[in-house]
């Protein structure tokens, strides 16, 4: 397996998932209690698929140090997103704006770290 291609695909998956996350944050910030369930599930599945692909690459062929940091940040963001979903969304409770923003900032930070790592690999290769 080619680590650069794996990280590129993972970055694309996470990017599409992040777009869904931005849409959901906008829905919440405009006053809705929570976004549609289908959008939350799609967001989570895409992000989990991207993170799983990065983890697979990390454990099989190795990934750059910056991508490893990205994985750590993305895992924390993923746990936070799952907690938001299970505690609030699944129970039909309004999502706390502070948690939505915190999750988004963490996820965006991890995504940017991964993107920088992938861009460096692409230039080097």
| Tens digit of each residue's pLDDT (9 = 90 or more) over 93-108 | 999 999 999 999 999 9
Could you tell me which residues come within 8 angstroms of residue 109 by beta carbon, excluding any fewer than 6 positions away? 73, 77
Please give the pLDDT value at position 29.
97
pLDDT of 3 > 90? The answer is: no
pLDDT score recorded for residue 49: 98
Rounded alpha-carbon distances, angstroms, from residue 103 to 49, 63, 81: 18, 24, 6
Percentage of residues in the chain having pLDDT higher than 90:
91
Cα–Cα dist 86/102, whole Å? 16
- In contact, 54 and 6? CB cutoff 8 Å: yes
- pLDDT, one tens digit per residue, over 59-89 is 999 999 999 999 999 999 999 999 999 999 9
pLDDT over 70 for what percent of the chain?
Answer: 98
Per-domain residue ranges for the chain?
Answer: 3-124
Helix axes 65-84, 37-60, angle to 10 degrees: 150
Neighbouring C-beta atoms of residue 52, cutoff 10 Å: 12
pLDDT confidence band for 124 (50 / 70 / 90): low
Q: What is the pLDDT of residue 4?
A: 87
Compute the average pLDDT of residues 22-50.
97
Residue 1 has pLDDT above 70, yes or no: no
């Amino acid at each position: 397996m080619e680590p650069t291609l794996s990280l590129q695909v993972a970055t694309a998956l996470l990017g599409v998932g992040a777009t869904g996350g931005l849409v959901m944050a906008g829905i919440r910030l405009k006053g809705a209690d929570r976004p549609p369930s289908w959008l939350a599930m799609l967001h989570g599945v895409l992000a989990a698929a991207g993170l799983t692909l990065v983890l697979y690459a990390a454990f099989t062929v190795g990934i750059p140090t910056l991508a490893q940091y990205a994985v750590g940040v993305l895992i924390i963001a993923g746990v936070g997103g799952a907690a938001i979903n299970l505690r609030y969304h699944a129970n039909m409770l309004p999502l706390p704006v502070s948690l939505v923003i915190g999750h988004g900032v963490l996820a965006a930070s991890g995504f940017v770290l991964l993107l920088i790592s992938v861009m460096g690999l692409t230039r080097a290769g």
